[in-house]
Structure formats: C-alpha cells, structure tokens
C-alpha cells in the first residue's frame, strides 16, 4: 500500500484541481450530472457615503468620532486630500506612538475598542508634549522614537498630508487615525 501512496496523493490533487478550475470557469454542471448548478451570489450593495464631517474631527477623532469605514486617501469630509506645499520634503523621519484597536490592520480581536484606543492616544498626546519617550511607554509594540526614513508616497494620502507638513521636531496637534490604529506623531528630521 505504501508504494501506491504517491499515486493516490497525485490523483487526489488532480481531482481537486479539476474541481477548482471548473468552479472558477463558472461551468459547475461538469461536476456531477445530478447536482444542480451553484447560483452566483449577488454583488453587495455599495455603502452610502457618510455625512460630511468638519475637517477638525479628521485628525482629532474627538468624541464625535470618525466614520467606521475610513478612506485614508480622502479627507474625512470626502474631499480630495490637498496637495502638499511645493517645498515639502521627499522623505522625513518620524517618531510614532501606536495605539491599535480591534479591526485595525495588524490588530487582534482581543485589542481594545476604537474609543479606548482614542482615549489612550489622547492621553499619550499630552505626555508627548513633555517627553515622547513617556508617550511610547504607554503605547503598543511597534512604537518607536525614530521609525526611520519615510518616503513620500508610502503612507496613505491623508496621513502623509499631516505628517509631511510637520516641521522638524514638531508634534502633530492631535492623534492621527491610520489604518493601523491611532498614531501620536512627531517629526524627528
């Protein structure tokens, strides 16, 4: 039996490939003559855009909060992200204190809620005014006093717009919401 095992495994793999390619081609009637074809599901309906919010809530993510489905390549009110000034640098160095929440990229379902992440980031924002190191001590893993050079075009447009307008040594005025969670941001260079 053991000498036939490779042939059995190859046959099983071939059968699975046949089923998968038949399903992808949309011709499910070839699978079995007595099985009804699988009906395709209807495409999900597009969500309506959220009501416009004042630009100030975009960066603060204050008590009013941000829409749960953020488009980080647009401003929170739905408008296009303004262009950076002509003299904006092509790369900067940032210090970032990260506050993840469940549902953000790289998070786990066990992470804090979005509101508690915002509260923690707001508290760290106050600490960062005195010492960025103290803000990082309160933050999640992945935070650093110098994450290295970030080139223009790497971050999402809205996040990039705010970070690249900071002057060297300047702390952003409020936590920024990114796809990865809230950031307390300081431009290092």
Instruction: Provide the pLDDT for residue 17.
Output: 40
Confidence of residue 147 (pLDDT cuts 50, 70, 90): very high
Instruction: Provide the pLDDT for residue 36.
Output: 52
Q: Are residues 128 and 87 in the same domain?
A: yes
Burial per residue of 125-144, b for 16 or more beta-carbon CB atoms within 10 angstroms, e otherwise: bebbeeebeebbebbbeebb
Say what percent of the chain tops pLDDT 90: 53
Domain holding 27, by residue range, is 1-36
CATH number at residue 126: 3.10.50.40
Q: Are residues 28 and 105 in the same domain?
A: no
| Least confident window among 4-18, 76-90, 136-150 | 4-18
Mean of pLDDT over the chain: 75
pLDDT per residue as tens digits for the range 6-34: 444 444 444 444 444 444 444 444 444 55
pTM higher than 0.85: no
The three-point CA angle 92-133-110 to 5° equals 95
């Amino acid at each position: 039996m053991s000498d036939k095992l490779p042939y059995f495994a190859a046959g099983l793999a071939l059968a699975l490939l046949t089923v998968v390619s038949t399903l992808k081609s949309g011709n499910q009637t070839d699978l079995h003559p007595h099985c009804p074809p699988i009906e395709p599901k209807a495409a999900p309906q597009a969500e309506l855009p959220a009501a416009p919010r004042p630009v100030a809530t975009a960066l603060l993510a204050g008590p009013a909060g941000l829409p749960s489905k953020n488009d980080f390549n647009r401003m929170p009110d739905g408008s296009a992200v303004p262009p950076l000034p002509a003299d904006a640098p092509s790369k900067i160095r940032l210090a970032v204190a990260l506050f993840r929440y469940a549902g953000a990229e790289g998070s786990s379902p066990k992470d804090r809620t979005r509101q508690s992440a915002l509260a923690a980031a707001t508290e760290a924002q106050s600490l960062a005014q005195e010492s960025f190191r103290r803000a990082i001590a309160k933050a999640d893993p992945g935070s650093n006093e110098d994450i290295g050079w970030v080139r223009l075009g790497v971050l999402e447009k809205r996040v990039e717009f705010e970070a690249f307008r900071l002057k060297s040594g300047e702390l952003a005025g409020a936590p920024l919401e990114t796809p990865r969670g809230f950031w307390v941001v300081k431009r290092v260079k």
